Every structure is written in C-alpha cells, then in structure tokens.
Amino acid sequence: MQIHYKNKRLETVLIVAKAITSAVVVASFVILFGFDKPLVPRHILYTIQLVTLCIFIAGKLIRFLNAESKKEYLFANWFEIPLFIGLIIAVYGAGRWFYRFEPAVVRHFAVGIYLIVEVVIKICIASVNLAASGKNPTRTLIISFLVLIVSGAGLLMLPRSSVEENTSFIDAIFTATSATCVTGLIVRDTGEDFSFMGQIIILTLIQLGGLGIVVFGAVFALLLGQALSLRESVAMQDLLNARTLGRIGNMIAFIFGGTLLIEAIGAVSMFSMWDDVPGRVGSIHQQWFYSIFHSISAFCNAGFSLFSDSFVSYDRSWGVYVIICPLIILGGLGFGVLFDLVNITLDRTKRFFKKLFSKHHRFSMKAPRRMQLQSKIVISVSVGLIILGMLGILLFERFAKVGGSVENTSVLGAFFQSVTARTAGFNTIDVKQLSGSSRIVLMLLMFIGGSPGSTAGGIKTVTLAVVVMTAVAALRKRREVEMFKRSIRVVVVGRAITVVLLFVVVLFTATLLLSITECANGFKMSDIMFEASSALGTVGLTTGITSSLTTAGKWIIIASMLIGRLGPLTLLAALTFNLKPARYNYPGEAIIVG
C-alpha cells in the first residue's frame, strides 16, 4: 500500500535515518555474536541497541503524524502494534511477572528480537520497492545476489563462523557464492571447518539464494497485509516469469508455502535415515539439524552436505532414493510447473466430489483443467533425461571402464547420479572413479540443468526441447516449431538458441581460462572442463580439484557460478535494457548453411 505523506523531505530524511540505524543494528549484532570476545564491552553494545530502538520508535511516531491519512498508515503498519505491545510486556514484565532471576537477559533478548524483526522487514520491503522502482528488474535481481554474497562472505569471515582457522576472504567469497547460487562446490569442508553459526549462515544463503530475496520481500509484504501495487506486481511478474498479472499474489504465496511444506516433510522423513550409518550423527538435536540442512539443500538443489563424502556412506540407505531424489526433482521442476500440477490436482478433486455428491452438476460443469504446455515439456524432458542419464552411466561403467562389471555397478547409484547431475550435486559414488564416458554424460546433464523458474542452473529443459524441435522442424521442412500440437513462437526459438550459444561461449571461455591459471597444478583437461561445467550448471559435482584451485581459478569459478545462477540471457538483458529495437529491415538475400 502506498502511503502519502505531507512533508516529502521529512520522509526522505526518515528513510535515510532508518537505513543508517539499521546498519548500526546489524553491526552491533555482528560485534556481539561474531567474535569469541566482543571488541566492544557488552554494556556499550546494549546501550547502542537501546538507542537504535528509541530511534525506530520515534521514526514511527513522526511518520504517523506526517501521514496524510492516519487510518491508512495504521492499516498498512498494523503489525507494528502487536510487535510493540509484545516488547513492552517483555521489558516491563521481566522481573515482575515472570523470569525474576535474571530479568536483564529477557529484556536484552526482547529488544534484540524487536530490532532484528524491524531490520528484516525493512530489507525485504525495500527489495520489493527497488524492484518496482521503474528500472530494469533484472538489475535488481543481480544487485540482490551480489549484496547477499558480499554480506554472507563477511559473516563467514567472522571468528565464530569457523571451528579453528578463520576463513580467508577468497574462501569466504567462494563459499558464499556457491551457497547463494545453490551450487555446492566447496573449498572448505562444510561440516568440519565451519561452526554451527557458519553452517546456519550457509543454510540461510542457500534458502535466500534459492528462492530470491525479492520473493522473500514480497512474501513479507503479503504476510504483513500490504497488498502489492501495480508496479510491484509487474516487477514480480518479470522476476517470476509469470504469465498472468492477477496470479502474482497466489504464485508468491504458493512458492513460500509450498517450499516450507516440502522442506518440512523432507526434514521429518529424513530424521530416521541417519541411523543407517551408526556413529555419523550423534544427538537428537544434531539429527534434526542434519535433516533440516539436507532437506533445504536438496530442495533448493544446492548440493551442500555436512558430510565430507556427501552421501557415499549412505549409498545403501533407502532415504537417499526415496526422500533426497524426490526433493531434488521437485526443486528442479520449477515453481510454475508445481503450481500448475497442484491446480490440476485440486480441479480433479473438486470434479470428483461434485460428481459424487451433486449429480445435477454433472452436465453443467466446465471442461477439466488442462496441463499447460510448459508443464508437459518440463515433465517429459525431465523424465527422459533421468532415464537416459541412468542408462548411459550404467552402460559406460560396465563396458567403457577397465574392470567394469555388473557387480560393481549399482542401478540405484546410476539413477541417483542421473538425478543429481542436472541440478543438485550430491553423490553416492566417487566421481573420480567414474569412467571418462560417464563423466561426459554427467557434463551433458549439468549443461542442460533443470527447468525454468526453478533453483537449478543450466540451459534448462525447455530450452533443450525448443532447440531439438527446431532441428526436427527443419528436417521435416515445417515452417513452425511444434510440440504437443502447439506452435512455438519465433521469438522463443531465437531466445533458446541464444541461451545455448551463450552457455557454450561461457563454458569454453571458463575452461580456457582455467587451463591457463591451473597449468602449474597439472590438472587434466577433462577435470578442468568438468569443474567449469559443474560451476556454470550450478551443480556442485567435482573430481576433487576445487580446494586446490589457485586464487585466479577460484575467481573464475565464482564468476561461472554467478553467471550460471542468473543466466547469461539475464545478464545480457540487464546490459541491453535501454537499447531500443530497430524500426527498419534490410533487404533479404539467400545464403547457404550446413
């Protein structure tokens, strides 16, 4: 909701003051919790937080008095009232009504929670406002990723984020980029080198990077009762690739609610899986944390694991194939496809009960909801790639590898690698032990990636389908590209070919640069290209050379991961946003190709 204020200059001053105050709040928490011993005495930090609290409250009072409509202001900021009441009860009641032993602890905790909520709300809503500022939404997306990476790297460099040795700048940037871009390549062991605080930071980066901080901003705005304006809805439509403007609110709510539900079901189902390997996971609290961490990592297709060998030790565990694989597949389908499947399921359920209990409605019901073309392409291509990838790995591991046999090749292992190679990056078998032919299969799967609107990278399944059917249409001498008895627009065909070409260029450029920077390490060219494919596809599989990369090589992988997550076409659109299309055409002339 857009609130109008009497004094515009005063409102600008308040916005700047709140931004500075929010930065001070964040700095105080970093100093308080990021070091083994705070750089500033605790009582001074608590005093600073109390001052920032007073500034926030004073700012709200001034904005209320400056608002043209007090009713609109209260309606848009209704959540401030119960939040403030809760703060007053905690501060005043501690030592009087409850917790009489150490009331100061409760007061500090309540003030801290209030400040954190205030800062989070402001950051999320500011991200939506920035996306709707009238500028290129893709630039907002890129900026949000860069800010998230830099912030995450700064937090990972804190002493309390590491177990022993502090994380260096390049390793922190690499880890933060890998987590934010949901890749999974690591230069430091997530479970051994990072403390619980560091693991929480990585998990937060995975969740924010997987869904996007702008989406979280829109979710907070909707949860707080602030309806998105038309400009904000248009910006979210561009970022989510949604077709209908009126469904933006439903789509955002579905993304957030569906993600929480799927990840929660995955975590609960995964809880007993850790008992399959005795001694790997200790207490119940650790089991829950491992379940939550790997559930989020799997659904967001991040590939981060708290085990040094990923899931190699759990290659015979049912949970890897019954829980992890479905989470990876669902995360790689894309929220648009999941939204379509849920709507179709609800429609079929309603029709069934109407036919069962309301017989007079049988002949007046509308036609059943049909699956969208996007969903048909995504599901068919995804299933085909999983099957072909599994068969390819089985075939090459048995007949294209020295010593390969039926006994040492697992069908479930091949299935898991076929699933995870396109999106996630987990592994149940050592990638270094695979044959060269199987690695080529994995590189092809990593190059293709997941589906549009998902957390996966690669050229995407729909892009592959469009390019393949374009070739089929040319061979059949058809004027239009056709799929499932529908025609594909020429502009979509051009975009698909552009994506493939850009990915090929980036892949070979990254491989060439790595071959130069890593020449002293003596890596094989196949290992270097595999690493570049994994980074660009935001997969996370590796032959074991990631931690041995030079500083220049790490920067190349960082750039590849960021390009792979955002997509080269997104970066190109951000750079060419202000270019106007040409309003003229040159005369045509025939040429020969092929």
The pLDDT of 114-137, averaged and rounded, is 69
Domain membership of residue 491 (yes or no) is yes
Residue 252 lies in a domain: no
pLDDT in tens, 543-594: 889 888 999 999 999 999 988 888 766 666 655 555 566 677 778 787 777 6
CA-CA distance, 564 to 454, in Å (whole number)? 13
Residue 63 pLDDT grade (very low, low, confident, very high; cuts 50, 70, 90): confident
Which range, 194-198, 225-229, 245-249, 407-411, is most confident? 194-198
105 SS3 class: helix
pLDDT tens digits along 428-467: 888 888 888 889 999 999 999 888 877 788 888 989 999 9
Size of the chain in residues: 594
Range of the domain at 484: 374-575
Domain count, the chain: 2
**pLDDT (0 to 100) of residue 169:** 92
pLDDT band at 222 (very low <50, low <70, confident <90, very high): low
Residue 233 lies in a domain: no
Domain for residue 504, yes or no?
Answer: yes
Q: Is it the case that residue 207 has pLDDT exceeding 90?
A: no
Phi/psi of residue 554, nearest 5 degrees:
-65, -40
Average pLDDT value for residue range 393-416: 73
Dump pLDDT digits (tens) for 141-161.
777 788 889 989 998 998 888
Identify the domain boundary among 131, 153, 170: 131
What is the SS3 assignment for 67? strand
For residue 235, pLDDT beyond 60: no
> Which residues neighbour 594 within 8 Å (Cβ) at sequence distance 6 or greater?
none
* DSSP H or E run through 481: strand 481-483
Within 10 Å of residue 565's Cβ, how many Cβ atoms?
24
* pLDDT on residue 137: 60
∠ Cα 449 453 456 (to 5°): 30
**Domain boundary residue, one of 109, 131, 153:** 131
Q: Which of 382, 297, 295 is nearest to 334 (CA)?
A: 382
CA distance 216 to 127: 9
How does pLDDT run across 505-537, given as a tens digit for each residue?
999 999 999 999 988 888 889 899 999 999 998
Residue 62 has pLDDT above 50, yes or no: yes
Q: Which of the four pLDDT bands, split at 50, 70 and 90, describes residue 406?
A: very low
Residue 538 belongs to a domain = yes
Q: List, for residues 173-195, the tens digit of each pLDDT value.
A: 999 999 988 888 999 988 888 99
The stretch 75-100 carries a mean pLDDT of 75
Whole-number pLDDT of residue 265: 93
pLDDT at 568: 65
Q: Is residue 289 part of a domain?
A: no
Average pLDDT over residues 297-323: 87
> Model confidence at 405, in pLDDT bands (50, 70, 90)?
very low
Q: Is residue 451 part of a domain?
A: yes
Q: Which of 84, 116, 131 is the last residue of a domain?
A: 131
Quick check: is 306 in a domain? no
pLDDT more than 90, % of the chain: 21
Q: Can you tell me the mean pLDDT for 92-110?
A: 74
Give me the helices (H) in 132-229, please: 137-156, 169-180, 196-211, 213-223
The answer to whether 14 and 62 have CB atoms below 8 angstroms apart is yes
Q: What pLDDT, in 10s, does the model give residues 18-33?
A: 888 888 888 888 888 8
C-alpha–C-alpha distance, residues 119 and 440, integer Å: 47
pLDDT of residue 175: 93
Listed ranges 8-12, 45-49, 238-242; the one with the highest mean pLDDT = 45-49
Mean pLDDT score across all residues of the chain: 81
pTM for the model stands at 0.84
Angle at 553 between CA 547 and CA 559, to 5 degrees: 110
More confident residue, 388 or 80: 388
CA 170, CA 178: separation in Å to the nearest integer? 12
Whether 491 has a pLDDT exceeding 70, the answer reads yes
